[in-house]
Amino acid sequence: MKTDDKIIAAVFGIGLLTLVCAVVFWQRSVQRWIENDRLQSRAYEIVQCLERIEGHLTMAETGRRDYAIAALAKDIRALRQVTPTTLQQEQRWNQFEALLNQRLTQLQEQADTTLSPQNEKIQEQLRSLLREIGNEEKQRLHHQIEKKEFEMFSTVKVITIITTVGTFLFLCVFYLLRREVRARRVAEEQIRQEHAALEKAMRELEESHWHLDKVAEFLPICMECGKVKTAGTEWETIADYFRKNELLFTHGYCPECAAKVRAHYEQDIKKKATQTQASPPSNPAAPSRPATSGSC
C-alpha cells in the first residue's frame, strides 16, 4: 500500500472512530432521556396521587363517604407503588404514610362525619404534610422537566456543533489530502514519462554511439597507391599502418593519386574530344538510277 493510500485510510479510520463515538454518545444521551422520562413520569404519578388523596379526604368529610374511603385506600396502594425507595425511607414520608393510614382507619371505623379534636389535629397534620410533600414533588417535577429540556437542548446543540465542525474539518482535510495526492500522482506520472523519454533517448544515444564506433572502425584506403588515412589528414602506407593497427578498411584516393587520376581523366576527355572533331560526318549514299535506252 502506498503512502497516500495509507493517509486516506487513516483519515477514513479517524472519521469512522468519530462516528462510533458520536453514536455511543447519542445512545447514552437517549438512555439518560429515557431515565429522565421514567423519573418524570413517576414524579407526575406521585403528584396526581397526592392530589387525588387530598380530594378524596375532602370528599370523605363532605359526602360520598363510602366511595371516598374505597378510593382513598386505592390511592394509598398506588402511592406506595410509585413512591421511590429513597422517598419511602425519609422520616417525613413515613410520618405522612402513618397518618394517612391512621386517618383511613378512622374513616372506616367511624359511622358519622363528625370529627373529634384529636381527629381534627390528625387531619390538619395530614393536610399540612400533604401540601408540603405535594409542593416539593411539584417543584421536583418542574426541576426535572427543566433539567431534561436543558440536557436535551445541550446535547442536541453539542452534537450538532460537533457533527458540523467535524464534517467540515473532515471534508477539508480529505479535500486537501486528495488534492495533494492527486498532484503527487500527476507529478509522479510526469516524472515517470520523463524517465521513460530519457531512457529512450539514452538508448538511442547508445545506439548512435555504437554506430559511430562501428563507423570509426572503418579506415579510408587509397585505391591507387594503397595508402591509408590515419588520424587527422596524414596518409601512410598500409604496411606502416598494419604495424600499428588492424582494422576494417574503406576505399578512397589520397591527394597525390587523386591528382594523377584527375590528370589521366582530363587527358582521356581531351583525347576523345579531339577524335570527335577530326572524323568527318558520315553521309548516306545516293540511290543509283537505272540506265534507260534512248529509243523506244
- pLDDT tens digits for range 284-294: 444 444 444 44
Q: What is the pLDDT of residues 232-268, one digit of tens each?
A: 678 888 777 777 765 555 667 788 888 888 888 888 8
* Domain edge (last residue) among 184, 213, 237: 184
Residue/partner pairs of 125-128 with CB below 8 Å, 24 or more apart: 125/99, 126/57, 126/96, 126/99, 126/100, 127/54, 127/57
Residues 150 and 264 in one domain: no
Three-class secondary structure assignment of 130-154: HHHHHHHHHHHHHHHHHHHHHHHHH
Q: What is the pLDDT of residues 177-186, one digit of tens each?
A: 777 778 888 8
234 is written with which cell numbers? 596524414
> Is 189 inside any structural domain?
no
> Is 203 inside any structural domain?
no
Element spanning 229, H or E: strand 228-229
Residues 82 and 20 in one domain: yes
- pLDDT: which is higher, 227 or 168: 227
Residue 118: how many other CB atoms lie within 10 Å: 9
Three-class secondary structure assignment of 178-211: HHHHHHHHHHHHHHHHHHHHHHHHHHHHHHHHHH
Per the structure, the complete domain to which residue 106 belongs is given by: 3-184
Answer yes or no: pTM beyond 0.75.
Answer: no
| Number of domains, the chain | 2
Residue 59: how many other CB atoms lie within 10 Å: 16
Residues 9 and 155 in one domain: yes
Contact 152, 36 (CB under 8 A): no
Residues 28 and 169 in one domain: yes
Q: What is the pLDDT of residues 38-54, one digit of tens each?
A: 666 767 677 777 767 76
Residue 275: alpha-carbon gap to chain centroid: 98
101/107 Cα distance (integer angstroms)? 10
- pLDDT: which is higher, 28 or 197: 197
